[in-house]
Amino acid sequence: MATNRGQFNSRLGFVLAAAGSAVGLGNIWKFPFEVGAGGGAAFVLIYLAFCFLLCFPVMVSEIAIGRKTQLNAVGAFKKLGHHNWAWIGFLGVLAGVLILSFYNVVAGWAFGYFLEMSQGNFDFGSVEKFVGFTADWEHIFIYGIVFMGITALIVSKGIQGGIEKAAKILMPTLFAMIIGLMIYSFTLSDAMAGVSYYLVPDFSEITGEVIYSALGQAFFSLSLGMGALITYGSYVSRKQDIVRSAAMITLTDVSVAFLAGLMIFPFVAFLNAGDMSSVSGGPGLIFMTLPGVFESLGPLLGKIVGAVFFLLLSFAALTSTVSLLEVPVAYLVDEKKIKRPVAVWSMAIIIFAIGIPSLLSYGASDTLSSFVNLFKADADGVLKETALPFLDFVELIASDTFLPLGGTFIAIFTAYVWKKNNLNAELMEGRETQSQWLSKYIDFAIMFICPVVLGAITIITILERFFGIQVF
């Protein structure tokens, strides 16, 4: 039975595919900025602690649930618990559909920028020009269709021939591009001003808000909370060591995020001649500031470096869109007995359609561009009522609310429904080392730390963002 569903061919293949899911837009544009805004190395330390202390046990649980049941997110909860628990899986499938609907739009921008840079068009250095690009919906539509099409093509070829093969090509290429660009950025003048802005710790900037956003970022970046790793885990062989694989996935994700910052800040420092005081965060950095940096490298070098950068961003996004699409596809294949290619192409079309309002919400449609008034922290951390584009609204619901909510219930389910003895028995299969303290820690975290902390994050997010009640 399991063989019909497909299986990863090797541990490396699984680790690369899961790390590919984790490494994405979150690592390359969000992480460096949060580090810059949140006190440099002090933020990195907090982020690392969250990844390993809080997120790692959830990751291990997701993979174990998947491998034990050899089923998609919905089927897995039904099989281990009860029909009543299937809703966690449905919530995950829904989160995957919604996240992919807007993520594909941003991935399409990255792909569009790749085309612009390779033609030597660097003229994006202001909000108007960036929005000029995103509001040009005919182009954005095509980029979105191309990106979803490539994603669907990979997923339609199955686990070994599609997802694993793509990860084995894309991930090493991505690593090589990051290292190459980082080395090059170090040779630019004022590079060290960028590095020290990024890395010198400033503990005074660590506030409740910073800690809370570090946690949300860690969780999103590791692709947790919606059963993506339950789904990938269902294709893992019983001979593999889950704990060790999860450690490798976490390390890869953290390393890529860290290196992305080391590559980006020297570029920014070069553009600003070492003055980092006016550096701003948000999507602006990647889509508005960096094209100016590439332009200043000269016409030929700028084209090459700029094109490589946005190709890298597109590759990072592609291994993530693949994992997002695989979640609903696996559900349709296992539970509804739909053939993989049919499931893949129909889901891709539906999700693209759901993403159309997001696609039009950065300038093309006025109504969608300021869709709802919700609360967002300003530069000083004060909550302000802000008109959010439709895309940001979907992100708030799916990534910021559903994922920590799903994570809370995955931890509760693992600890109190499936139970720690069953988790530990699954982790023993293929285990290469017998580390008692690590198993004890995972048990403790999944029973107490993860449900409490993730539950608190969910509640704080809802209070702050939807109701404007300032918790931090």
Closer to ligand TRP by CB, 96 or 266: give it: 96
Element (H, E) at 3: helix 2-5
| Piece of the chain touching ligand TRP by CB under 6 A; list 17-25, 261-269, 382-390, 433-441 | 17-25
* Distance in Å, CB of 399 to ligand TRP, minimum: 7
* Distance in Å, CB of 43 to ligand TRP, minimum: 16
By the rule CB under 6 A, 228 interacts with ligand TRP: yes
Rounded Cα distance between 43 and 49, Å, is: 10
Size of the site for ligand TRP (CB under 6 A): 16
By the rule CB under 6 A, 231 interacts with ligand TRP: no
What are the DSSP calls for 80-145, one per residue?
Answer: HT-GGGHHHHHHHHHHHHHHHHHHHHHHHHHHHHHHHHHTT-----SHHHHHHHHH-HHHHHHHHH
Joined together, the tokens standing for residue 326 give 């695989």
What are the DSSP calls for 249-305, one per residue?
Answer: HHHHHHHHHHHHHHHHHHHHHHHTTT--TT---STHIIIIIHHHHHHHT-HHHHHHH
Closer to ligand TRP by CB, 178 or 195: give it: 178
Letter for the amino acid at 350? I
**Would you call 52 helix, strand, or coil by DSSP?**
helix
| Piece of the chain touching ligand TRP by CB under 6 A; list 19-27, 167-175, 185-193, 195-203 | 19-27
* Distance in Å, CB of 141 to ligand TRP, minimum: 22
Comparing CA positions, the residue from 464, 410, 87, 35 lying closest to residue 258 is 35
By the rule CB under 6 A, 221 interacts with ligand TRP: yes
What are the DSSP calls for 297-326, one per residue?
Answer: T-HHHHHHHHHHHHHHHHHHHHHHHHHHHH
By the rule CB under 6 A, 458 interacts with ligand TRP: no
* Distance in Å, CB of 324 to ligand TRP, minimum: 5
| Piece of the chain touching ligand TRP by CB under 6 A; list 161-169, 221-229, 272-280, 453-461 | 221-229
21 touches 246 (CB < 8 A): no
Joined together, the tokens standing for residue 257 give 């995020």
Comparing CA positions, the residue from 415, 326, 445 lying closest to residue 81 is 415
Which of 16, 18, 25, 163 contacts ligand TRP by CB under 6 A?
25
Closer to ligand TRP by CB, 279 or 316: give it: 316
By the rule CB under 6 A, 22 interacts with ligand TRP: yes
Binding mask 370-409 for ligand TRP (x = CB under 6 A): ---------------------------------x------
Place of tokens 């990106």: 147
- Rg of the chain over CA atoms, in angstroms? 21
Which of 109, 198, 212, 220 contacts ligand TRP by CB under 6 A?
220
By the rule CB under 6 A, 320 interacts with ligand TRP: yes
By the rule CB under 6 A, 27 interacts with ligand TRP: yes
Closer to ligand TRP by CB, 76 or 99: give it: 99
By the rule CB under 6 A, 61 interacts with ligand TRP: no
By the rule CB under 6 A, 223 interacts with ligand TRP: yes
The neighbour count for residue 373, using CB atoms within 10 Å, is 11
Joined together, the tokens standing for residue 277 give 């005081």
Closer to ligand TRP by CB, 25 or 246: give it: 25
By the rule CB under 6 A, 323 interacts with ligand TRP: yes
* Distance in Å, CB of 386 to ligand TRP, minimum: 23
Element (H, E) at 376: strand 372-377
* Distance in Å, CB of 420 to ligand TRP, minimum: 24
Place of tokens 């984790």: 22
Q: Which residues contact 111 (CB under 8 A, 6 or more apart)?
A: 143, 146, 147, 310, 314
* Distance in Å, CB of 220 to ligand TRP, minimum: 5
Instruction: Tell me which residues touch ligand TRP (CB under 6 A).
Output: 21-22, 24-27, 99, 220-221, 223, 226, 228, 320, 323-324, 403
